[in-house]
Structure 1
């Protein structure tokens, strides 16, 4: 009587799969794709260089889908027009006085771009406008984000209370330029009651996340 030995097992028939299986240790100059890697495309120049060191930038799309890029230096704000940086510094107030270790932080609010550097009043520019202008003179801030319909600032300095590094302050509902504290407009501020230290940044969205030096706080809207 004939006996059959152990069956011979063949690998899956997959001629379109990459040659490398799971033994690749080091992959350089490539990007991951489904079932393998692809070559990293060569970078192309988008704009010319800023006249001095850049310390913050943002890119947003306008109403027709065109990209607008803004960037800041210690003393100026710029708008990239066809790859060329155009001075978009405020017309009233002169050059900015950002600290040597400071930076610009930007956020998109509707069709506007808001930027803050803590040394100057927060700045705003509307889509299509040529220059930034003061958003408010009520305070200065290091951080800014958009949480639902509120523009939120963190680590603030105002004429009344001075520098309050852990303070979080927000605008009126759906009005990023109104910071008069009012139960009607819902503009207000809060000093988190915990030993969290200075505000390090804010992440916006449906809810807000406020990052302190030693704690994290969540902002939830209650109607």
Structure 2
């Protein structure tokens, strides 16, 4: 029989005689179907407390990746030699991250900046700094930060949540607003649009408010310094950390779903696809804690959130993820509990951690470039507080076809299915029902595995059929495109 494709994951749409499906778990979209979502491989010991933000930066002096992470009260730096976290907090200061918030980080030259509403802006030299310190110039406390050209911009200020503030041009230690005399630091208070809920830097800034999106453009030799143009009204970011910038696109979560902002306009990417699915699953009291993660290994962005089913005794755990591939314009679902996510890269290898002896046959020389690390990767802070890269064995994958009446209008007797994919080990189960009504649940048959001919026997009679494929965790595979049913027409009923 003809192949039945593993269709796009759009659980908001009825998957009956359609080109969509309602189950695509722990997979990534491919043009020909789906591929595996890889498991996290820890590279660090656990943080001393729950992670409230993390960032990977490149060492300006040595060229290898360096990791920093924050908890509710401290800042830490990953120690390559011990795989532990060194406390690099400012001596004598206890930080305070408000409940539901995270640290915001920005790199300016060789310095890493960190801010949160409950703490003065912190700064450390990436290569030689031993501990963070207050950024000079008395900048305001803020929820978000970013870099626009040679300016550091602070957004969502503690003193005025409807404002943004920026440093002097090329001097991030000068923050006196509107003093003139060649200084360009200043403050902008927005009279409408509500509180500033997020910020994305770059060649120009994008300011997200509760009900407006503005573009922030530097005007050289102007007394205004920056112009603020309203690109959209009644549109904004409901979750401050749901904002992820990748090239010209900025992804974010608004009150009614997921959007991509590009070229001055927001395009809905979740409407009639995953928005209702998300709204039904997310903890309604934790929507503002949604975290967007940019995937540098592909054209993808991940939205991690806390579900209604999450353990109430662990309030900072993000236990589910929606993954969006902006090139293919397709979604998937990932069941992976994490604390945070970040752009990452493979770390450098310490000479003390090289396995075996340097004299062993086949051992790489010390100048081998693989020891320097730097290979792009998707990183997470796991549920147990460890830094991990998503480059391990595949997670257990589950994919489902849409429900279909194969021999319309007659009944069908299914004898089995074959998977069009390259996994050597997989399982199949067939579900049937007589009519696509809420009053009639799907009847699932026992799960089976393929025989020597590659068919999984699944005997099932019904008017409507659907097939669910499960690839166990750790099984090597690269694609799953479709299923081939072995079915016959059943009588003239």
Report TM bin, short chain. Answer: 0.7 to 0.9
Distance 2:94 2:132 in 1: 11
- 1:167-200: per-residue Cα shift (whole Å, max 9, x none)? 1100011122211233312111111232x11111
2:162 to 153, 161, 166: 166
Distance 2:34 2:6 in 1: 14
Most deviating of 55-64 and 114-123: 55-64
RMSD, aligned CA: 2.1
Deviation at 1:138, TM superposition (A): 3.9
Deviation at 1:44, TM superposition (A): 0.7
- 2:71 maps to 73
Identify if the C-alpha distance between structure 1 residues 216 and 27 changes in structure 2 by more than 3 Å, giving closer, same or farther: closer
Q: TM-score, with normalisation over the residues of structure 2? A: 0.38
Instruction: Please tell me whether the aligned partners of residues 52 and 72 of structure 2 are also in contact (alpha carbons under 8 angstroms).
Output: yes
Distance 2:148 2:100 in 1: 27
Deviation at 1:155, TM superposition (A): 2.0
Q: Which blocks of at least 5 consecutive residues in structure 1 are unaligned?
A: 1-19, 158-162
Most deviating of 121-130 and 35-44: 35-44
**What SS does the aligned partner of 1:121 have?**
strand
Deviation at 1:23, TM superposition (A): 4.7
What pairs up with 1:31-46 in 2 under 5 angstroms?
31-33=28-30, 35-46=32-43
Most deviating of 93-102 and 134-143: 93-102
Alignment partner of 1:219 is 2:220: no
Deviation at 1:40, TM superposition (A): 3.3
2:172 to 165, 168, 176: 176
**What SS does the aligned partner of 2:42 have?**
coil
- 1:143 maps to 144
Identify if the C-alpha distance between structure 1 residues 193 and 102 changes in structure 2 by more than 3 Å, giving closer, same or farther: same
The structure with the greater share of residues assigned to strand is 2
Distance 1:89 1:125 in 2: 10
Q: TM-score, with normalisation over the residues of structure 1? A: 0.80
Kindly indicate whether structure 1 or structure 2 has the higher relative contact order, using CA contacts under 8 Å at least 6 residues apart: 2
Distance 2:213 2:116 in 1: 22
Instruction: Please tell me whether the aligned partners of residues 53 and 102 of structure 2 are also in contact (alpha carbons under 8 angstroms).
Output: yes
2:51 to 51, 54, 59: 54
Alignment partner of 1:96 is 2:95: yes
The structure with the greater share of residues assigned to helix is 2
Deviation at 1:33, TM superposition (A): 4.5
Q: Which blocks of at least 5 consecutive residues in structure 2 are unaligned?
A: 8-20, 221-493
Distance 1:151 1:217 in 2: 17
